Amino acid sequence: MALTNSTAIRVELGGRSYDVLVGRGLLDDIVVQARPFLGPYAGRKVPIVADVNAREHHGKRLARSLASDGYEIAWYDVAPGEGSKSWESLERLTDWLLDLGITRSDHVFALGGGVVGDLVGFACAILKRGCGFVQLPTTLLSQVDSSVGGKTAINTRSGKNLIGAFHQPSLVLADTQTLDTLPDREMRAGYAEVLKYGLLGDEAFFAWLESNGPDVLARNREALTHAVATSIEAKARIVAEDERETSGRRALLNLGHTFGHALEAETGFSDRLLHGEAVALGMVLAARYSARRGELAAADAERAAQAIAESGLPSEIANLDMKCDGKRLVDHMRHDKKMEAAGTLPFLLLKGLGEAYMARDVDLGDVAAFLDEQLKVPA
């Protein structure tokens, strides 16, 4: 079978290094692309844990490719939504994998967005003290962010992603064809994370996105592949430098997330505001707050806001109709995982477009006053 054209991006982590392949049609070729991880399944079924929608759209392509080498699939369906990242789902999934007789040298395949990737990754981190897994991300957000870097987790009543492990996949296949069927709103939400890579560390990429964002969102093949590959290259570099988020380098990936998390909490982590939309608003707030501190030119903060607005993402919290004040949003921030025992919360801010840094001297009272102003900005 002919190999699909793809770009390989290496995540350099010593003995745990792996490739992220980006290309159109990679799933049609899975039997070739994932060959090293399929061998042990001769005479057994290949376990694929799938978001039900992703299975509906891409299941046949996987089955056809695997059947060409005689493999059959054992499917496990996961309902869409954060509700599937629960203790109950984890228990059901690990029981299923144990019943299948998964060994430590086997690889489980995760087909879908961040929910499936996080759940399967965590199950594989703890199953028999660790087995392998392959990420087959089918959303823009999971291709450019969650499938790369080994953060795996489930949610608990105390919050999102509070129980988890760093467990790197052995391979990621980012098939850009899967984005053809992604709803526009989810595409835009994933695009917020693409813009994030430009804003946090690559001004030239940000400028490229200002001009080419509409093509990326319209799924122009060349533009989309460039945007996905450039984002993954940035993520791979950062993960290689700071795999476990201990030096502060990986924390830069949280640009927009502290403000964004407060907005998600206020809107009930619901469809009212998708994660990527909250990150988009969070990045506008981080840019404007940086300008308020005199660290970023006000014109640059508005350039960031404009790039976000022009891509169809929400950019003004005043338009969310949240009926809350800045203090209430700051109270949500106090529950952030990053909150320190001393009562300080590190904030990712901008010194320039393409230059994020972590500020540890942010006064939460001042943040509340800033948010009060932003909540009043006219539509």
The minimum distance between CB 231 and ligand GLY, in angstroms, equals 11
- d(CA 265, CA 278) in angstroms, rounded, equals 10
Q: Is the dihedral of CA 348, 241, 300, 284 positive or negative?
A: negative
The minimum distance between CB 17 and ligand GLY, in angstroms, equals 17
Contact 43, 84 (CB under 8 A): no
Q: Is 52 helix (H, G, I), strand (E, B) or coil?
A: helix
Residues facing residue 217 across a β-bridge: none
Closer residue to ligand GLY, CB minimum distance, 12 or 372: 12
Closer residue to ligand GLY, CB minimum distance, 29 or 145: 145
Name the residue with the smallest CB distance to ligand GLY. Answer: 253
Query: Which residue numbers are catalytic?
Result: 129, 151, 193, 235, 245, 250, 254, 257, 261, 275
The minimum distance between CB 121 and ligand GLY, in angstroms, equals 11
Closer residue to ligand GLY, CB minimum distance, 48 or 348: 348
Closer residue to ligand GLY, CB minimum distance, 41 or 191: 191
Q: What are the DSSP calls for 225-248, one per residue?
A: HHHHHHHHHHHHHHHHH-TTS-SS
Distance between alpha carbon 224 and the CA centroid of its chain, in Å?
16
Q: Is 175 helix (H, G, I), strand (E, B) or coil?
A: strand
The minimum distance between CB 357 and ligand GLY, in angstroms, equals 16
Interaxial angle between packed helices 203-217 and 298-310, expressed in degrees from 0 to 180 and rounded to the nearest 10: 20
The minimum distance between CB 151 and ligand GLY, in angstroms, equals 5
Q: From residue 74, how far is each of 45, 78, 165, 171, 248 by CA, in Å?
A: 5, 13, 25, 20, 41
In the complex, the residues that contact ligand GLY under the rule CB under 6 A are 145, 149, 151, 250, 253
Length of the chain: 379
Closer residue to ligand GLY, CB minimum distance, 188 or 250: 250
